[in-house]
Amino acid sequence: MSDSQSSATAEIMPEDNDVPVPGLEAGVEEEREYVGMLYHRLDELRAEKEAQLAKVRRVGSRGTMQNASERDAFAAMYEDRLAQLNAVDDRLVFGRLDHDSGECRYIGRIGLTSASHQRLMLDWRAPEAGVFYQATAFERQGVRRRRHLLLKRREVHGVEDDVLDASMLEEASHNHGDGALLAALTARRTGQMGDIVATIQSEQDRIIRADLPGVMVVQGGPGTGKTAVALHRAAYLLYSHRDRLKSAGVLIVGPNTTFMSYIDRVLPSLGETGVVLSSLADLFPGVHGTPEPDSRVEEIKGRLDWVGIIGAAVTHRQRTIPDVRDVTVDGTRVGVTPKMVNRALERARATGKPYNEARTTFVKVLVKEIAEKLERIIEKRSEGNDADRSYLVEDVRSARDVRVLLNLCWMPRSPQGLLEDLFAKPNYLSDVAPELSAAERELLKRAPGSPFTSADVPLLDEAAELLGTLDESAGREAARQKAAAARSLDNAQRAVENASPQLEEMGIEGFLDAQAVVDMNAESGPRLTAAERAQVDRSWTYGHVVVDEAQELSAMQWHVLMRRCPLKSFTIVGDIAQGSSPSAASSWQQAMAPFVGERMRVEELTVNYRTPGTIVELAERVAEANGLHTTSLRTVRDGDYPPVIEQVPGDQLVTAATAAVRAEHDRVGEGLVAAIVPERLLSLTRRSLVAEFGARVGHGAGSLSEDILALSAEEAKGLEFDAVVLVEPAEILEETAGRVGSLYVALTRPTHALHVIAVRELPAGF
Ligand SMILES: Nc1ncnc2c1ncn2[C@@H]1O[C@H](COP(=O)(O)OP(=O)(O)OP(=O)(O)O)[C@@H](O)[C@H]1O
């Protein structure tokens, strides 16, 4: 909660039972006028951009290449700006600061200036806006009063004042506590995460605004706002380091696709769209990893040993020949010696290129040697008759025998093919993975054509890195494109310099960079943003990477993520206590040391904003009683509903759970109710809920837009619901072999009510 000496609220809402305070009502009126003016300016800017865009589009692609590309660049820039202006329409402004100097500043989602360049509203990320989140009565930082403006879409419905200057206290006639924060925390959930820009707390703000370089780990218990903070930090970094991050991009990684869709509206509402969001299962373009069914396999595949295993698996397919081997080229027999093959292998390895690309050198060298030998044979046969021999190399390359020999010694490989072989051919795996026991190798065995799992994704990535481009001509094409891109970047730089004065005049400098112009000039395909290009390019390196639920990541997952950001600029958020995967870390030091050594800073969040105090107490008790040490969290409210615990007869578990969903739904009114159940009961519970509630029941965690859901504890990770019906906690505990992380996650999902239904004895701590 914000540390103010006094707080005064006026909320002109129908459900507000308080008698409106006259002075504050006037405050609302006063703000309505100013906010109306801000929206008027927003509409004006929008109309302006629409007109400019229409004009550029009318001109079309006439004129020189240079003119056309400049116009395209302008059109793209207007489109981006329009998208941004549209995205911030809802609750555009949320704060006002009254300074000792008498100056008053409004804080909102973006910065706005009037037509005559007067500042009307500060972007929340601007340095001067920081005090809105940081000022306290003890450290006022020149602020007399902080006012929260409570908007519903475009309408001001209330104001809340934090009076920081003691001499103003008399003017404040009403004391209501942190109304803006509480209103946000108790609002009904919609299945989509919202931004917290209006109520960021000071411990959160310090993390959001921390410097870009280096690795920052944010440890925090459930509901402390780690996800919210990570997303606001991404928006902040894109704003304050736009030059560096616009073209390199920011990657946000989360545990699964449900979680990614839960958070995907937050950044657009903050005016940022150019971020790549990806679940761990989707990090390898073209593959969607299915959940790994066996946790023992998941643990094995998470070990860092796979860097060595994949390396050995790649080179395993390079081999020489034991004896001379004859190949026939156009009817002539040529003996290929082990020496010739070894020379070609050595030359190729010496290039240091990835496997498939180095193979090109191997093929070139060996084919040349065979052609020379063939030439000598032909020369001898034709006794000095020097006919044209230039075709010989091509003949050798296309001879069937030669192609078989080349593949035998150096097989071209795809990452998918390599992994499939490794798990389908036991001898191959035992040759390259002596560090795995026979029992472990047996566990890894699977039929060719089996789907790739999320635990395979880092292994595919590692294989792709070592194998390089499969298609030989694609390698050359990539090099050609790279050279062409460097040339166009140079041209584009000049074009941007020409355009800069106009841009500055419009007050939008920094929005167009040379890379954007290059993209516009690309001859084929639609215009792609950096984010779109990054998403399909496995080797893309980002300017910053944000990792959520990071306690679950395996060493192999960290290994490939580190490659995505060689600058090692990371924001890593998670809670060691919530770890439930077989690779989950037991400390941040243990998880990160192999990759960054000691070079990381750990920050901590300590207040749970989601879950009422009575439920948090229960969750902490259960965690401790089952051997999980948690740091005790402060909570913001006790909540209106103490947890309900019901024991039912053996045959009534699912019926009782359905009835509890009904009861909780009635109790919390509008909002989301989730039944968190053991995997075994998932489909049964879903069927029972559908019979009771029909189409209002979502099918799995992917349908957060419905108001009733049944999901597993694993699927509930990172999400939240107004009420949770927790079914058979003893079995949930067993599912993760007694690790209490998943149960602790399930217990901390509600924002209002928790209802436990059990047949079996409850785990310790309940
Ligand atoms: N300063 C804030 N103002 C308003 N709401 C907040 C604030 N901080 C956090 N919240 C809300 O608290 C809830 C929990 O936040 P979030 O999901 O980011 O927590 P978390 O630490 O990632 O939780 P978990 O680890 O349990 O998944 C969200 O609804 C979020 O919007």
Same domain assignment for residues 418 and 564: no
CA 748 / ligand 1 centre spacing (Å): 11
Same domain assignment for residues 310 and 458: yes
Phi and psi at residue 521, in whole multiples of 5°? -80, -15
pLDDT at position 21 is 47
Residues in Cβ contact with 633 at an 8 Å cutoff, skipping those fewer than 6 apart: 221, 222, 223, 224, 606, 607, 608, 616, 620
Same domain assignment for residues 428 and 572: no
Q: Per DSSP, what are the bridge partners of residue 673?
A: 708, 723
pLDDT in tens, 579-598: 888 888 889 999 999 999 98
Final residue in a domain of this structure, among 589, 608, 627: 608
Q: Is the CB of 204 under 6 A from ligand 1?
A: yes
Q: Most confidently modeled of 60-74, 163-177, 494-508, 644-658?
A: 644-658
pLDDT at position 143 is 92
* Gap between the Cα atoms of 613 and 640, Å rounded: 10
* Gap between the Cα atoms of 748 and 728, Å rounded: 16
Q: What is the DSSP letter of 680?
A: G
pLDDT at position 688 is 96
Residue nearest to atom 8 of ligand 1 (CA): 225
How far CA 177 is from CA of 24, 84, 95, 319, 590, in Å, comes to 15, 34, 17, 74, 41
CA 532 / ligand 1 centre spacing (Å): 28
Same domain assignment for residues 454 and 482: no
Same domain assignment for residues 638 and 749: yes
- Which tokens belong to 275? 């971020």
Same domain assignment for residues 90 and 225: no
Same domain assignment for residues 228 and 348: no
Is 197 part of a structural domain of the chain?
no
pLDDT in tens, 700-741: 656 677 789 999 998 898 999 999 999 999 999 998 877 888
Measured between its terminal Cα atoms, the distance across the chain in Å is 29
Is 728 part of a structural domain of the chain?
yes
* Nearest atom in ligand 1 to 189's CA: 29
Give the whole-number percent of the chain exceeding pLDDT 90. Answer: 58
Q: Which of 122, 127, 84 is nearest to 106 (CA)?
A: 122
Same domain assignment for residues 556 and 627: no
Long-range Cβ contacts of 236-245 (<8 Å, 24+ apart):
236/125, 236/208, 236/209, 237/212, 237/544, 238/272, 238/274, 238/275, 239/123, 239/125, 239/272, 240/125, 240/212, 241/212, 241/543, 242/510, 243/510, 243/513, 244/212, 244/543, 245/543, 245/544
Q: Is the CB of 709 under 6 A from ligand 1?
A: no
Q: Is the CB of 181 under 6 A from ligand 1?
A: yes
* Gap between the Cα atoms of 109 and 235, Å rounded: 11
pLDDT at position 460 is 97
Q: Is the CB of 254 under 6 A from ligand 1?
A: no
- Which tokens belong to 692? 């009771």
Q: What is the mean pLDDT of the chain?
A: 85
The number of angstroms, rounded, from the C-alpha of 291 to the middle of its chain's C-alpha atoms is 18
- Which tokens belong to 370? 């065979």
Q: Which of 256-265, 444-453, 521-530, 748-757 has the lowest mean pLDDT?
A: 521-530
| Domain tally, the chain | 5
Cβ neighbours, 10 Å, residue 397: 18
Q: Is the CB of 261 under 6 A from ligand 1?
A: no
Same domain assignment for residues 323 and 459: yes
Same domain assignment for residues 272 and 309: no
Same domain assignment for residues 491 and 409: no
Q: Per DSSP, what are the bridge partners of residue 121?
A: 112
Tell me the Ramachandran region of residue 177: left when phi exceeds 0, alpha when psi lies from -120 to 50, beta otherwise: left
Final residue in a domain of this structure, among 581, 608, 635: 608
Mutate to test the pocket of ligand 1, among 219, 224, 260, 265 (most ligand atoms within 8 A of CB): 224
Is 10 part of a structural domain of the chain?
no
Burial 639-666 (b: 16+ CB within 10 A, else e): bebebbeeebeeeebbebbbbbbbbbbe
* Gap between the Cα atoms of 145 and 132, Å rounded: 10
Final residue in a domain of this structure, among 549, 582, 608: 608
Same domain assignment for residues 434 and 476: no
Q: Is the CB of 716 under 6 A from ligand 1?
A: no
Is 529 part of a structural domain of the chain?
no
- Inform me whether the pLDDT recorded for 126 exceeds 50: yes
564: domain CATH number? 3.40.50.300
Q: Name the pTM for this structure.
A: 0.83
* Gap between the Cα atoms of 492 and 527, Å rounded: 15
H helix runs in 506-584, sequence order? 514-521, 530-536, 555-564
Domain assignment of residue 400, given as a range? 296-467
- Inform me whether the pLDDT recorded for 14 exceeds 50: no
Q: Is the CB of 269 under 6 A from ligand 1?
A: no
Mutate to test the pocket of ligand 1, among 226, 232, 633, 635 (most ligand atoms within 8 A of CB): 226
How far CA 571 is from CA of 196, 238, 525, in Å, comes to 18, 13, 34
User: Is the separation of the CB atoms in 363 and 405 below 8 Å?
Assistant: no
Is 741 part of a structural domain of the chain?
yes
Cβ neighbours, 10 Å, residue 598: 7
ipTM (interface predicted TM): 0.99
* Gap between the Cα atoms of 490 and 533, Å rounded: 20
Query: Which residue, chain included where needed, has tokens 């306290």?
Result: 136
Tell me the Ramachandran region of residue 31: left when phi exceeds 0, alpha when psi lies from -120 to 50, beta otherwise: alpha
Is 387 part of a structural domain of the chain?
yes
Summarize the confidence of residues 425-450 as an average pLDDT: 96
Residues annotated within a binding site for ATP = 220-227
pLDDT in tens, 390-433: 788 999 999 999 999 999 999 999 999 999 999 999 999 999 99
Is 483 part of a structural domain of the chain?
yes
- Inform me whether the pLDDT recorded for 531 exceeds 80: no
Q: What is the DSSP letter of 710?
A: E
Is 76 part of a structural domain of the chain?
yes
